[in-house]
Amino acid sequence: MTIPVTIRLQEVDFDVAREIAAMTRGRKDVGAVVSFSGICRSDEMDEGGAIAALTLEHYPGMAEAEIARHVDEALARWPLTGVTVIHRFGRIVPGENIVLVVTASSHREAAFQGAEFLMDYLKTRAPFWKREERDAGNRWVEAHDRDDSAAARWTKS
Amino acid sequence: MTIPVTIRLQEVDFDVAREIAAMTRGRKDVGAVVSFSGICRSDEMDEGGAIAALTLEHYPGMAEAEIARHVDEALARWPLTGVTVIHRFGRIVPGENIVLVVTASSHREAAFQGAEFLMDYLKTRAPFWKREERDAGNRWVEAHDRDDSAAARWTKS
Amino acid sequence: MKVLYFAWVRERVGKTEETVEPPSTVATVSDLIAWLSQRGEEYAHAFDRPSVIRAAIDRMHVKQDTAIAGAREIAFFPPMTGG
Amino acid sequence: MKVLYFAWVRERVGKTEETVEPPSTVATVSDLIAWLSQRGEEYAHAFDRPSVIRAAIDRMHVKQDTAIAGAREIAFFPPMTGG
């Protein structure tokens, strides 16, 4: 049975429920579905005020290819029965979705591990860049060291 | 700000989308929502045939209390902004939902860890028992050693 | 005290709950299992492998060496398979 | 070869892409960064901390010591902040 993989980059929001429901449609071997939704926060004040919006820039062509490479790696490492990755680009206001990862498997460990792996890699390897709009102006978000260490834990030693 | 906790034991199905959406309502500090849906599978054949249905028995009163104790522990261990646990009981046919855990946090690590912790404990400590209906008759599901070891990894050493 | 049974322990005993008054020599959960096992074939069958039986006192998981003094509700059941 | 810029590298350079023909002495990604930096103030500003710049050749992440021979498309950008 082929493993359904969906990768989409889009400006519009996504429907988490539909993506989760798609994981079990027509299958009897799905016992666990994990979803991760990444959402635009606005609670952290800095000298520029609160975040009014994020704008996500991406590298078309490479972004899809890079996500596909990591989905393939996830499928090779865990017995997944389905994977969906949706990443938005463009302007996103607080409370809106940014990214969705949904993984399905017969067992919960694989679904959890696959989703965490994909999120860690999306953070550090997918060619997307966030720019914050605050009252005082716009600023590119800086990469976090903790995201690099999160991604590094999946490297085979 | 109080952390919204929802714990429900019910015979009817639940709406994953509504539970996920509730995590961000009226809050600005939610950056990550993880959902885990446990689903009734029917792909494993044994000498009794395929699973036609599961019946879940539970210990009313204790089940709610035991889940609440583990939710409290999750809240103490990770900076979660919301937790929802819904566990169904009664008869469930293949493809239907059994259990839902939704966790929210400012950061993805806490949301993932909290959800995994709660699922591991639900499997081994929540007073629920599954009985399978197969063509050849009914049988109580046996506990898995691997579920005990999954739960044990959260014990402080 | 009230005793509750769940899953295949319930099916073997043939009842969901009952009130029992064990003698004062029955001090721990493990003693209570041994005492119940003497009450008839159905109990002997339910508790024939005491080590696999799990117990809760007043809706908290306990080990079998826990004292039962003061317990209002004791439940016996197999290892849990929820989630 | 085509060179693409993203995020603040793009803003500093002032363009999203261009076609360049570096001399054959420009062998690696790191050489290309140094060569671009000489092209004007905007480039010098974009590449003023070369160690933070990430690169991709033909849509694959590469290290700066990677050879650029045969590359059709080289992209420069800051560390990624998606997800």
- pLDDT value at A157 more than 60: no
Q: What is the mean pLDDT of chain A?
A: 93
- Count CB neighbours of C41 within 10 A: 9
- pLDDT value at A17 more than 80: yes
Query: Is C56's CB within 8 Å of B127's CB?
Result: yes
pLDDT band, residue A45 (cuts 50/70/90): confident
How many CA atoms are closer than 13 Å to the CA of B100, on its beta-carbon side? 25
Task: State mean pLDDT over B37-49.
Answer: 88
- Count CB neighbours of C71 within 10 A: 18
Residue D70: which of D56, D57, D79, D52 has the closest Cα? Answer: D57
Give per-residue pLDDT as tens, A105-137.
Answer: 999 999 999 999 999 999 999 999 999 999 888
- pLDDT value at B157 more than 70: no
**Strand segments (E) across chain B:** 5-10, 32-39, 51-58, 80-88, 90-92, 97-105, 128-134, 137-140
Largest CA distance in chain A: 54
- State the best of D60, D74, D80 to mutate against chain A, taking most chain A CBs within 10 Å: D80
What type of residue is C57? I
Query: Is C78's CB within 8 Å of B143's CB?
Result: yes
CB of B36 within 8 Å of any CB in chain A? yes
Tokens 């049975």 -> residue: A1
Phi and psi of A28, rounded to 5°? Answer: -110, -5
- The pLDDT score that the predictor gives to residue C35 is 98
- Judging contacts by C-beta atoms under 8 Å, the chain C residues touching residue B38 are 83
- The pLDDT score that the predictor gives to residue B156 is 62
- Count CB neighbours of A26 within 10 A: 9
Query: Is B66's CB within 8 Å of C59's CB?
Result: yes
CB of B115 within 8 Å of any CB in chain A? yes
Nearest CB partner across the interface for A128, out of D8, D60, D82:
D82
DSSP label at residue D3: E
- Judging contacts by C-beta atoms under 8 Å, the chain A residues touching residue D77 are 59, 127, 129
Contact (CB, 8 A) for D29 and D57: yes
CB of D7 within 8 Å of any CB in chain A? yes
Look up residue C81 and give its two tokens: 């398979």
Q: Which chains touch C (3 or more CB pairs under 8 A)?
A: B
pLDDT band, residue D63 (cuts 50/70/90): very high
